[in-house]
Amino acid sequence: MQKLNLTGTSKHQTDDQMKGLSAVFLDGDEVFIDNGAIHAKSRLEVGVKFVDDQSAVPDARHIQGLWITLKRQENGLGYAGAMPFDLWIDDSTKMGYKKLSEQVNQMDKAVRGQVDVQGLPREVVNKLGAHLQKIRPDLWENASDSFRQAFSS
């Protein structure tokens, strides 16, 4: 397939910035990565109609998301950015609520290497951190100091 260079450049900067971006979800006790979230097509979001008013989905469950990014560090590729976001989804009505602008802003901050998990409950931070450390110990070892510090107990 031929690549269309609609921007007039041989490489689009956003593609390069997004290569190291992933989304980690904590849904109940399950922690998983779903890169479909980058384009609002995670397994949680597909088939869900999102509304602008959270009160329209009163029986929704809260799902914690975390944008994480990778960056080449001194010793190799490692975790660099981490910014949280929220989803509320009611499976019975296939309706949900999310603050899209906040999600995009948090994604941008993660891409820029910012780490801020202070607003999350410690147990959530611990679960997400343990999962990231377990799935790729090499990325954890090469993580930025700010990333590891944010997830240390």
Single pTM value for the model: 0.85
Residue type, 2: Q
CA distance linking residue 118 with residue 150, whole number of Å: 8
Whether residue 3 has pLDDT greater than 80: no
Q: Which residues pair with 27 in a beta bridge?
A: 30
Examine the pLDDT at 12 and tell me if it is beyond 90.
no
Tell me the per-residue pLDDT of 92-138, one tens digit each, with 9 for 90 and over: 999 999 999 999 999 999 999 999 999 999 999 999 999 999 999 99
Domain extents for the chain? 18-44+64-89+98-151
Q: Is pLDDT above 50 for 68?
A: yes
Q: What is the pLDDT of residues 14-64, one digit of tens each?
A: 445 566 899 999 999 999 999 999 999 999 999 999 999 999 999 999 999
49-51: strand order across its sheet = 30-33, 21-27, 61-73, 76-90, 95-97, 49-51
pLDDT for position 74: 84
Q: Strands 49-51 and 95-97, how do they pair?
A: parallel
Residues 6+ apart with CB under 8 A from 138: 76, 77, 78
Specify the pLDDT at position 17: 53
